[in-house]
Amino acid sequence: MNASLLLRRCQLIAQEASGQTVDIAIAAGQIMAIAPTLEISAPIELDIGGQLVSAPFVESHIHLDSALTAGQPRWNLSGTLFEGIEIWRDRKADLTIEDVKTRAIQALKQQASLGVLFVRSHADVSEPSLSALKGLLAVREAVKDWMTLQVVAFPQDGLYGSETNAALMEESLKLGADAVGGIPHYELTREDGVRSVHKIFELAQKYDRLIDIHCDEIDDPQSRFLEVVAACAIRSGLGPRVTASHTTAFGSYNDAYALKLMGILQRAQLNFIANPLINITLQGRTDTYPKRRGVTRVKELWQSGLNVSLGHDCIQDPWYSLGTGNLLAVAEMAVHVCQMTGQDEIDACFDMVTSHGARTLNLQADYGIAEGQPANLIVLDARSRYEAILNRATVKYVISRGQVLVETAPPAVTWHGE
């Protein structure tokens, strides 16, 4: 078979330490061959010049239904999670499928241009119209030729926040949501929260779906739904198909409880997603000083061998008015907030927005740079993961399904001084 695209002198992460490069040949949307030197030609040949070629960024946690709505209908003045939920409740009153589709595709194009080709988005399923879910399911179909999108049915107002919400969740799964979501710490009582977690596992088994729960996204050290999620994962055996998102209260637990919990989590083998840009901003708002960071124990979870990925969570919405969708900004924030400043820790933060995210999304064989894999890869203006985070490197080429989807020139600096 003839190659359609040839990348010369690529630095793969696996050979970062040695500095050895490889050529990568692509044909029919797949990686055809990888070798130090390929004696073939192709209609398009790119000399990568020893720069880093990685599997694409994976956005493991975002809310595309609310993306690009900052200030609508009003600004979040307290900056808290709960005022954000109130504002979103007003904004979503006039949500339409078209409104969701337009903004979500705009946000996805923005992320794809920054090297993101796999995304898991939550869709609020607390409204009887299910406009957010229907919109995002339509987007999943519309972008499938260049982007893989997973949609989580997310009961923003609580699975038991109203009498209809549990039925709306089940309807969402019948419509085709990829995962069951939840928000146990926002339910009316602790009992409702526990009941919601059990219901989520029951539905996931009934419809054979993944699970991704907004879990303990609060500074309250008594918010302990993570242990309930872990216990359900252990008893059901679903661990690797289950994700606990945010778990910010874990950062406020006393160390004796945290140590006990860590043992349970290792048995459960859940995935974890931290969203450092958003949680450093939302949490700790009721603290004076010292003021908590409000981020889960990323370093300790990672050191325990558990799968941790990082998400952007919000792009210009009621919870976070900033954000461009750049996962290198997320990784850079994690380095700071989670004190992941060692060389291997910085590399791990890059992995948390790439391969670890792929594991969270259960992408398995669809992800990674190897012969026979789908040809999804990115070329960074950097020679290593460290340089990529250091410089928030430009993603020069985004290659999706074997085609160059986006090309971006790094900024050119001209020095006019002495």
For 355-383, give one letter per residue: b (16+ CB within 10 A) or e.
bbbbbbbbbeeebbbeeebbbbbbbbbbb
Residues 312, 273 contacting (CB under 8 angstroms): no
Nearer to Fe ion, 63 or 209 (CB): 63
Report, in Å, the least distance between residue 61 CB and Fe ion: 6
Joined tokens for residue 242: 């289950």
When the beta carbons of 157 and 313 are compared against Fe ion, the nearer one is: 313
The DSSP secondary structure of 328-355, one letter per residue, reads HHHHHHHHHHTT--SHHHHHHHHHHTTH
| H-helix or E-strand spanning residue 149 | strand 148-154
Closest approach of Cβ 214 to Fe ion, in Å? 5
Q: Which is nearer to Fe ion, 317 or 332 (CB)?
A: 317
Judge whether 170 counts as a catalytic residue. Answer: no
Q: Residue 68: CB partners within 8 Å, gap ≥ 6?
A: 103, 106, 107, 315, 316, 317
Helix, strand or coil, per DSSP, at residue 164:
coil
| Shortest Å distance, C-beta 135 to Fe ion | 17
Q: Rank residues 124 and 332 by Cβ distance to Fe ion and give the closer one.
A: 124
Q: How many residues bind Fe ion (CB under 5 A)?
A: 1
Provide the mask over 288-327, with x wherever binding to Fe ion is found by CB under 5 A and - wherever it is not: -------------------------x--------------
- Strand 377-380 to 395-400 pairing: antiparallel
Closest distance of CB 213 from Fe ion, Å: 10
- CA pseudo-torsion sign 39, 45, 51, 53: negative
* Pair 217, 284: CB distance under 8 Å: no
Task: Output the six-digit token pair for 236.
Answer: 């059901």
* Alpha helices for 294-397 (secondary structure H): 298-303, 327-337, 343-352, 355-360, 385-390
Rounded least distance, CB 281 to Fe ion, Å: 13
Q: Which is nearer to Fe ion, 313 or 381 (CB)?
A: 313
Catalytic residue chosen out of the listed positions 59, 83, 187, 217:
217
**Where on the chain is the footprint of Fe ion (CB under 5 A)?**
313
Active site residues: 217
